[in-house]
Amino acid sequence: MMPDDSDSSLPSADFISHVTRLALVLATLGIFACSAIAGSWTPLTQRAPRTIGLMVLLSDGTVLAQNNNGTAWYRLTPDSQGHYATGTWSTIAAMHDSRLYCATQMLKDGRIFVAGGEYGTGHTTAEVYNPLTNVWTELPSANATFSDANSEILPDGRVIVALVQGTLKQTIIYNPVANTWTAGPTTNGIHNESMWIKQPDDSILFIDRLTTNSERYIPSLNQWITDATVPVSIYDPYGLESGPGFLLPNGKSIFLGATGHTAIYTPSGSTANGSWIAGPDIPNSSGAPDAPGAMMPNGIILCSVSPTPTSGNHFPTPTTFYEYDYVANTFTQVNAPTGTSLSQSAYIGNMLVVPDGTVLYSNDGTQLYDYQPSGTPLVAGQPTISSITQNSDGSFHLVGTQLNGISEGSAYGDDNQNASNYPIVRLTSSGGTVYFARTYNWSRTSVQTGSTAVTTEFTLPTGLPADTYSLNVIANGIPSDPTSFTVAPIVVSMPATVTEGTSVSATVTLPVAPGQDTAVNLSASNSTLLSVPASVTVLAGQTSANFTVTAPEQAGLIGKQAVAISAASSGYQTGLSYIDELDDKSAFLTVSPATSFNPNGLKGGPFSPASATYTLKNTGNFTLSWTAKKTASWMTLSPTSGSLVAGASTTVTVSINTSVANGEAVGSYSDNILFSNTTSGDGNTAIAASLTVNGSPAMVVSGNAVNSTGPGGGPFVPASTTFSIKNTGTAAMLWSATKTASWLTISPTSGTIQPNSSTNVTVSINTAANSLAMGAYNDTITFTNTSNSVGNTTSSALLIVDQTTYTNTIDTDPGWSRQGEWAWGTPTGGGGANGTHDPTSGATGAKVLGVNLSGDYSLTPGGPFYLTAGPFNLTGNAATRLRFARWLNTDVQPNAFATVDISKDGTNWTNVWNNGTSAVTDSSWQTVQYDISSVADNQSTVYVRWGYQIASGALAYSGWNIDDVKILGTTNGIAPTATLQRVLVPLNTATAVTLTGTDTNNPVQPMTFQVTTQPQHGTLSGTAPNLTYTPVNGFVGLDSFTFTCTNEFNLTSAPATVTLDVYANYSTWAASHGVTGALNGPLADFDGDGVLNLFEWAFGMNPAAADDSSISLSGGTIVHRGGLSVVVTGSGVNTQYSVLFGRRDDYLAVGLVYTVQFSNDLQNWVTSNATPTVMADDGEIQAVTVAAPAAQNGKPFGFVRLQITGPN
């Protein structure tokens, strides 16, 4: 069992809570030398068309590779030198069902068998691929569940498959000749997640899941028998997984466990028990919880592993790679394809040994890698060629030894099988170009056959040039010695296809012109399907002759069938070519358009396009049945099957399944929509589908509001304020920051922030502030998430240009109260035992007030000692601050204290600054400012004091120096602002109204509220700001009153209006307009003007008389209350269409819903998701615009309608 994307410890979808994975088989051998030098990785020069999982070696030397969890397959063809790292990709036919982790075997006739799939639609189905016709054929139902089944090819060519159902001990056997299923023998223990290893005697060995019991299948008995006990556990107790396994050159087998243990098996060679020993543990606490491996031509095992599983992580990361040397019985770590490891679980990978002796590695990506092992191939594993003869049909018969190899090559376990223990024939021309023949019908499916003769048939590739070739037979990357092979066949040339009931012309061509008339004998591999003349004569001196291939009508032919035509003549090499006979009662499926379905949208939806329609047509002349399948749950298909008579067509709609798609995490989800012609297979089409869930950016702005003060002409403190903008979402975010005031500067003003990243924005007071008159200036800084508006934030900006209420340059002694070492005079620059010395003059002028103007403060404990200034009369002042120049050096608390305090009575003091636990070491004059408004505003007596205190253990510093003391403030403060508002009032219902206002003084002043005008159609009760409005009984419409607010500076705001919208439901509204009788319903037209009563209500019209009142907008645009207008902005590709209409102000309260829909064919309507924009409001009706969405299916929207829904 393999995990899905959301749960790394996925339980079985069937009936078990845990299943295992695979076993890697290794072994020890002391008779062959193995290199200890690691191999090297090379990335394939050409990326695969889509992500790749399972890989299978075809018998023609090409590699079939499956798109993970899909139906698509691709072919990797080696280059002209026979190498795969520089090979090329092409696309082959798609399977009928999608599959991920399934049973896979190469049949003896060269077809590929697949069954099941832990994920995908093929859970219970099987099919076979024929490379000659490029057709996948569904097999008869086995009425069984395969899922992630294991499988093996049997000696007679049948396939035994494990069933993932019931007790997990059942098997089933497929006969590819009869195309039938029969029940197989039951295993003794649970086979699910186990690794099966073919033994030299053709028995199949595995270890029962989560036990130390082993057993073998004996083909001659058709029975599983108990074998010896395993000394170690290879299954982890969490996911119940194991690793891959291999038969080694010495005939032993080793299983690589998820636990990190390995176990080595020595066979008995009979039905008697073999024996087990513990192998070496995998280094670095690693294990193989589902992991690929491959036995390389040098006999060393390349394997991938991960940390051993835990209860919390069944498939840990990273993946590392080792070579297991069966001679030394040791593991040696080697590099990963990129770096020393891969940040992924080991189960994601797949390996395949290919004929050039390298190992291909895929890991669910488009970039594959090729591993070149070190050393040379094992001599003991080398095939031999005894003879090659030509068959009468033009194919060839090869006899040799060890054509099946000494192992099955690659391994993974029950989840993937891609054994390659069959012969591959390679031909190298005299010029060095490499070709591969296609082998089939090999006599053995065994391993380690030794000196026993093995045979295989092979056909030459079409168009192979005449030449003398060097021919090798290869088994799992180990080539035989070359043998000379001359190709000078009779060439049979004919079209690729012939339709039954017709005939085509063909030609035979001899390598050289004969000296006399020469008969060439012709034959068809299936004379029932095709007929050719018994012979054709090539005249003397010529090289070719024509003949006719006839395809008689076949009642049972469906689709196409490959037939071989051979040409033989004495003294010449027999030629062979294939032609496909097509059914004239063709049932050919076409699917249009061929474009993929690729919806995308933000997490949570909506996704666009929401659906797509595909047209299925039978372009043949025979009725066909069709199916439409997919795997992904995020989309639906309708319908999913049907039949089409000749020439008929139908449509299938692919739609987003919002209940699933809206819950998908950010990422891309790929699938295929497979349209299958189940009658003949002709026209089977795979349409790619992918859902892209984009992250949603989200903005969070942090930072204090801008609040700067200073005297006319400046400077202003603080001079700048920094904000942090963070993107807490999952996609990149575009942002902007704007302001209105000329005295503010923002830097930067826009940018892009990646997920979980942030940037700083500085808002500064610029020189334009220096020319402002005394007063308070407000602005708003707007931070906008321009990607999706999530987190849009505003922050206030307040600049107070104040007057200097008090100033003292300290050039003369102010006579303030002084204690301790406080003194007035000229500093000498002394002191500085710690920190910095005293200044030698004031910030302006020569004089200062300071502590010991000749050096450091005294270390005699004492204090606090204060310099006290005041009283100051600050009556009528607001937003007061203390500003002075400071040169201070002091030890940390509690050794030494330095403080600034404020008082309004000289007795009760409030600290506004102290040195805390950090030393202060000014080396120049610093201008500092402290807010004292909470104590000093509007006070007639205000005192300021500077203090110091020395404790035992203090270090010597130069202490306080102050100069240029100022008290700043604004006279009489700032008037507050009353807040206007709109209140919805239900008919005949008393409704609470709370008055609000804003005071921008610092500190904020308490306010009182006063009603200045009364409402006209109701009464107010209560005490401001908490009032209750009671409308006159039966009144419907707008009412209002005004109010002001006053702060403690006795400053009063300008009046603000509270609009009272008294609304009624439909029936009350209709009655108020005299709409009675049979025509008083919402869908009737009382005044006969063609506008339904519901619309008259929704648009604010008079239902008792025809009217067309309107709302005017700036720029001269008119919105007619009862109609729609189209607004066009931009031009060319930037043209944007919007719809303009009227909407009641109280639509939410009365339950009206306005829905704008667009269409390009008056049949399919798309609802706009754009947010309506209110352009104008006359107090009763809003003028609203809604933007049209983008074009659909490449067509712009040409029609619009407004749907109005009333309350239930």
User: What one-letter code names the amino acid at 263?
Assistant: A
Assigned token pair, 91: 């696309």
Choose between 549 and 671: higher pLDDT.
Answer: 549
| 916-to-540, 891, 896 alpha-carbon distances in Å | 116, 10, 9
Q: What is the four-CA torsion angle of 354, 358, 363, 367, rounded to 10 degrees?
A: -100
Count of other CB atoms within 10 angstroms of residue 573: 19
- Inform me whether the pLDDT recorded for 3 exceeds 70: no
Assigned token pair, 162: 């494990």
Rounded distance, CA 614 to CA 202, Å? 50
Mean pLDDT for the stretch of residues 1083-1104: 81
Rounded distance, CA 633 to CA 5, Å? 13
Assigned token pair, 151: 């499988």
* Nearest residue to 12 via CA among 410, 414, 294, 323: 414
Mean pLDDT for the stretch of residues 579-589: 82
Which CATH number does 46-390 carry?
A: 2.130.10.80
pLDDT band at 412 (very low <50, low <70, confident <90, very high): very high
Say what the pLDDT of residue 1095 is.
82
Rounded distance, CA 286 to CA 288, Å? 7
Choose between 21 and 949: higher pLDDT.
Answer: 949
State the first-to-last Cα distance of the chain, in angstroms, to the nearest integer: 52
- Which residues does residue 353 pair with via DSSP β-bridges, in sequence order? 359
Mean pLDDT for the stretch of residues 1044-1065: 81
pLDDT, tens digit (0-9, with 9 covering 90-100), for 204-250: 999 999 999 999 999 999 999 999 999 999 999 999 999 999 999 99
DSSP classification of residue 100? B
How many residues are present in the chain? 1208
Three-state DSSP state, 348: helix
pLDDT band at 23 (very low <50, low <70, confident <90, very high): very low
Q: In what order do the strands lie in the sheet with 720-727?
A: 699-702, 720-727, 758-765, 744-747
DSSP string for 446-509 = -S--TTSEEEEEEEPPTTPPSEEEEEEEEETTEEPPPEEEEE-BPEEE--SEEETTEEEEEEEE
pLDDT, tens digit (0-9, with 9 covering 90-100), for 676-712: 998 878 888 989 899 998 888 888 899 888 988 888 8
- Inform me whether the pLDDT recorded for 1111 exceeds 80: no
Assigned token pair, 696: 């949603």
Mean pLDDT for the stretch of residues 406-434: 95
Please report which helix (H) or strand (E) contains residue 41, including its range. Answer: strand 40-43
Q: Is the domain 977-1067 a CATH 1.10.8.60 member?
A: no
The two counts, helices (H) then strands (E), for the chain are 5, 96
Do residues 57 and 418 make contact, with C-beta atoms less than 8 angstroms apart? yes
Rounded distance, CA 727 to CA 755, Å? 5
- Mean pLDDT, the chain, whole residue set: 89
- The backbone torsions φ and ψ at residue 347, rounded to the nearest 5 degrees and listed phi first, read -65, -20
Do residues 627 and 616 make contact, with C-beta atoms less than 8 angstroms apart? no
* CATH homologous superfamily for the domain 1117-1207: Immunoglobulins (2.60.40.10)
Within 13 Å and on the Cβ side, how many CA atoms surround 427? 21
Mean pLDDT for the stretch of residues 379-384: 96
Say what the pLDDT of residue 515 is.
87
Do residues 1172 and 1145 make contact, with C-beta atoms less than 8 angstroms apart? no
DSSP string for 893-912 = TTTEEEEEEEESSSSSEEEE
Task: Average the pLDDT over each of 104-113, 797-806, 809-818 and give the range with the smallest value.
Answer: 797-806
Rounded distance, CA 657 to CA 1044, Å? 55
Maximum mean pLDDT: which of 414-428, 594-608, 869-883: 414-428
pLDDT, tens digit (0-9, with 9 covering 90-100), for 1125-1137: 787 777 766 777 8
- Inform me whether the pLDDT recorded for 445 exceeds 90: yes
Say what the pLDDT of residue 1150 is.
79
Task: Average the pLDDT over each of 16-25, 79-88, 1103-1112 and give the range with the smallest value.
Answer: 16-25
Say what the pLDDT of residue 102 is.
95
pLDDT, tens digit (0-9, with 9 covering 90-100), for 470-495: 999 999 999 999 999 999 889 999 99
Rounded distance, CA 885 to CA 89, Å? 77
- Inform me whether the pLDDT recorded for 428 exceeds 90: yes
pLDDT, tens digit (0-9, with 9 covering 90-100), for 347-369: 999 999 999 999 999 999 999 99
Say what the pLDDT of residue 1121 is.
60
Instruction: Quote the percentage of the chain above a pLDDT of 90.
Output: 64
pLDDT, tens digit (0-9, with 9 covering 90-100), for 544-575: 999 999 999 876 666 678 899 999 998 888 99
pLDDT band at 1165 (very low <50, low <70, confident <90, very high): confident
- Inform me whether the pLDDT recorded for 33 exceeds 80: no
Say what the pLDDT of residue 612 is.
96
Task: Average the pLDDT over each of 749-758, 810-819, 839-848, 1047-1056 and give the range with the smallest value.
Answer: 1047-1056
* Nearest residue to 1164 via CA among 633, 689, 651, 632: 651
- Inform me whether the pLDDT recorded for 583 exceeds 80: no
Within 13 Å and on the Cβ side, how many CA atoms surround 511? 17
Q: Regarding the domain delimited by 809-971, which CATH topology (the fold level of the hierarchy) does it fall under?
A: Jelly Rolls (2.60.120)
Say what the pLDDT of residue 1145 is.
80
Q: Which residue spans within 932-1036 are E strands per DSSP?
A: 942-950, 961-971, 977-978, 981-986, 991-994, 997-998, 1007-1013, 1018-1023, 1026-1031
Task: Average the pLDDT over each of 43-57, 309-323, 1106-1120 and give the range with the smallest value.
Answer: 1106-1120
977-1067 shares its CATH topology with 1117-1207: yes
Say what the pLDDT of residue 876 is.
76
pLDDT, tens digit (0-9, with 9 covering 90-100), for 982-1023: 888 888 899 999 999 998 876 677 789 999 999 999 999 999
Choose between 502 and 23: higher pLDDT.
Answer: 502
Instruction: Quote the percentage of the chain above a pLDDT of 70.
Output: 94
- Inform me whether the pLDDT recorded for 149 exceeds 80: yes
Rounded distance, CA 172 to CA 146, Å? 9
Rounded distance, CA 98 to CA 118, Å? 10
- Inform me whether the pLDDT recorded for 16 exceeds 50: no
- Which residues does residue 492 pair with via DSSP β-bridges, in sequence order? 508
Say what the pLDDT of residue 1067 is.
80
CATH number of this structure's domain 491-582, picked from the four choices 3.30.2270.10, 2.60.40.10, 3.30.420.40, 3.40.50.300: 2.60.40.10
- Inform me whether the pLDDT recorded for 12 exceeds 80: no
Q: Regarding the domain delimited by 589-694, which CATH topology (the fold level of the hierarchy) does it fall under?
A: Immunoglobulin-like (2.60.40)
Count of other CB atoms within 10 angstroms of residue 1016: 12
- Inform me whether the pLDDT recorded for 1108 exceeds 90: no
Helix H, strand E, coil C: the string for 737-759 is EECCCCCEEEECCEEEECCCCEE
CATH C-level class of 699-802: mainly beta
Do residues 855 and 834 make contact, with C-beta atoms less than 8 angstroms apart? no
DSSP classification of residue 1043? E
Phi/psi class of residue 146: alpha, beta or left (left: φ > 0; alpha: ψ in -120 to 50)?
Answer: alpha
pLDDT band at 737 (very low <50, low <70, confident <90, very high): very high
- Inform me whether the pLDDT recorded for 7 exceeds 60: no
Task: Average the pLDDT over each of 27-41, 249-263, 436-450, 967-981 and give the range with the smallest value.
Answer: 27-41
- Inform me whether the pLDDT recorded for 26 exceeds 70: no
Three-state DSSP state, 380: helix
Domain residue spans of the chain: 46-390, 491-582, 589-694, 699-802, 809-971, 977-1067, 1117-1207
pLDDT band at 611 (very low <50, low <70, confident <90, very high): very high
Alpha-carbon Rg for the chain in angstroms: 45
- Inform me whether the pLDDT recorded for 138 exceeds 70: yes
pLDDT band at 1109 (very low <50, low <70, confident <90, very high): low
